């Protein structure tokens, strides 16, 4: 083989290696002996978000300013001593952003020379999942604690109510006091029932439905609830396509009922005839595939109260526990959807329920 053919073969091999490294879905960077970047695949450039050319930069330039003088050289020293390093580090993404990365550095020796092969994987999404799991664990712990407290309170409340009823059957003076005790005991029992129900809310059993089935179901639940309050509901749908919706109908029913009940009760303090609009629209994403909008023209919500409307036991209505919208929010989150509220005092309120769609990848659902 002559010199020209040999040069062409080596050059072809390098191109193939570069193509392979570019195809890998991890950031790959090669450093020379002085830790200067001599190669970076397209994934690494995307992860690091550098506007300028990354070739020629130093390894420390990938790190936050506070980590450039100690952490960066320590990683190289450990790689020299142990042959490799692997750990979680914060890296820069462009000039203003940062991300948590799993960084692997391997020492590469060839013909008396050395280089470093750096692999970068973005842990941002994984860290997000980890935070959600930790939050779930805390919620489970708090749920168990509240369940225990509920049981501890329930027994004394039942005893108070029972003895109050017995006292009422005697010739006790001021029986109205005993009735107050009985009423408050019943209220505490109801509160404990609601709290227990909230704690023991079952996990969703997801199924895939057509949007037409969900619209029909929500319309029936809304109509049944409104009839109790003798309130008219007008339905409207602009959903043209038969979308695939993923939900649990049992839990969805429990999320919708408090919203319709609140809408009906919003007319108690105004002189307008009770009227509610329920519309169905296509959402902007698969996470919000179907949007259900419940609009009333009642008393509205005072602005200072808006931030508290989802809080447990918050209510402005006499005789109510204040768990309705708390249930709605919790259930919509369990269904991987969302709920939002807009309100203008003395004009009315809009509640938006976002129900997720089928998020399976097209490769699972559509033939190619």
Question: What is the band of 128 on the pLDDT scale with cuts at 50, 70, 90?
Answer: low
| In a shared domain, residues 209 and 226 | yes
The count of structural domains within the chain is 3
232-237 vs 275-282, strand pairing mode: parallel
Final residue of a structural domain among 122, 149, 170: 122
Arithmetic mean of pLDDT, 55-77: 92
Domain interval for residue 97: 3-122
Residue 363 scores a pLDDT above 70 = no
Question: What is the band of 321 on the pLDDT scale with cuts at 50, 70, 90?
Answer: confident
pLDDT 10s digits, 200-214: 888 899 999 999 999
Helix (H) or strand (E) holding 36: none
Q: How far is CA 318 from the centre of its chain?
A: 33
In what order do the strands lie in the sheet containing 113-122? 37-40, 27-31, 113-122, 97-110, 84-93
CATH number of domain containing 26: 3.30.450.20
| In a shared domain, residues 209 and 338 | yes
Region label for 342, one of left (φ > 0), alpha (ψ between -120 and 50) or beta (otherwise):
beta
pLDDT 10s digits, 207-253: 999 999 999 999 999 999 999 999 989 999 998 778 889 999 999 99
Cα–Cα distance between 40 and 4 in angstroms, integer?
28
Concatenated DSSP letters for 53-101? Answer: --TT-BGGGGB-GGGTTTHHHHHHHHHHHHSEEEEEEEEEETTTEEEEE
Arithmetic mean of pLDDT, 309-334: 87
Closest CA to 313 of 189, 194, 199: 194
Final residue of a structural domain among 122, 137, 167: 122
Question: What is the band of 5 on the pLDDT scale with cuts at 50, 70, 90?
Answer: low
| In a shared domain, residues 157 and 117 | no
Task: Compute CA distances 184 → 12, 189, 329, 354, whole Å.
Answer: 86, 9, 28, 37
| In a shared domain, residues 240 and 299 | yes
| In a shared domain, residues 254 and 273 | yes
Mean pLDDT (the chain) is 84
Arithmetic mean of pLDDT, 247-270: 93
| pTM recorded for the entire structure | 0.60
Final residue of a structural domain among 155, 174, 200: 200
pLDDT at residue number 227: 93
| In a shared domain, residues 217 and 358 | yes
Arithmetic mean of pLDDT, 82-87: 92
| In a shared domain, residues 339 and 232 | yes
């Amino acid at each position: 083989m002559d010199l020209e053919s040999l040069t062409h073969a080596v050059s072809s091999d390098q191109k193939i290696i570069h193509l392979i490294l570019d195809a890998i879905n991890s950031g790959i960077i090669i450093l020379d002996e002085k830790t200067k970047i001599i190669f970076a695949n397209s994934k690494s450039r995307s992860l690091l978000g550098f506007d300028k050319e990354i070739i020629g930069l130093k390894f420390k330039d990938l790190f936050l300013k506070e980590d450039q003088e100690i952490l960066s050289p320590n990683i190289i020293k450990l790689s020299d001593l142990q042959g490799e390093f692997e750990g979680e580090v914060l890296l820069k993404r462009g000039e203003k952003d940062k991300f948590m990365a799993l960084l692997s550095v391997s020492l590469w020796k060839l013909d008396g020379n050395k280089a470093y092969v750096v692999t970068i994987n973005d842990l941002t999404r994984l860290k997000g999942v980890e935070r959600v799991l930790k939050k779930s664990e805390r919620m489970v712990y708090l749920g168990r604690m509240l369940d225990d407290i509920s049981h501890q309170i329930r027994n004394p409340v039942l005893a108070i109510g029972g003895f109050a009823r017995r006292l009422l059957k005697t010739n006790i003076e001021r029986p109205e006091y005993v009735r107050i005790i009985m009423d408050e005991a019943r209220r505490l029992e109801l509160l404990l029932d609601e709290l227990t129900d909230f704690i023991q809310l079952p996990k969703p059993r997801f199924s895939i439905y057509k949007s037409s089935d969900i619209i029909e179901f929500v319309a029936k639940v809304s109509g049944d609830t409104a009839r109790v309050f003798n309130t008219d509901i007008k339905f409207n749908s602009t959903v043209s396509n038969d979308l695939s919706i993923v939900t649990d109908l049992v839990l969805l029913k429990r999320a919708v009922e408090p919203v319709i009940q609140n809408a009906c009760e919003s007319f108690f303090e105004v002189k307008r005839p009770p009227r509610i609009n329920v519309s169905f629209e296509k959402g902007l994403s698969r996470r919000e595939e179907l949007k259900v909008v419940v609009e009333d023209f009642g008393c509205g919500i005072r602005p200072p109260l808006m931030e508290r409307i989802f809080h447990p036991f918050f209510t402005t209505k006499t005789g109510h526990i204040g768990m309705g919208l708390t249930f709605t929010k919790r259930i919509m989150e369990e269904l991987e959807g969302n709920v939002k509220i807009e309100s203008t005092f003395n004009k009315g309120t809009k509640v938006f329920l976002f129900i997720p769609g089928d998020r399976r990848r097209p490769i699972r659902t559509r033939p190619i």
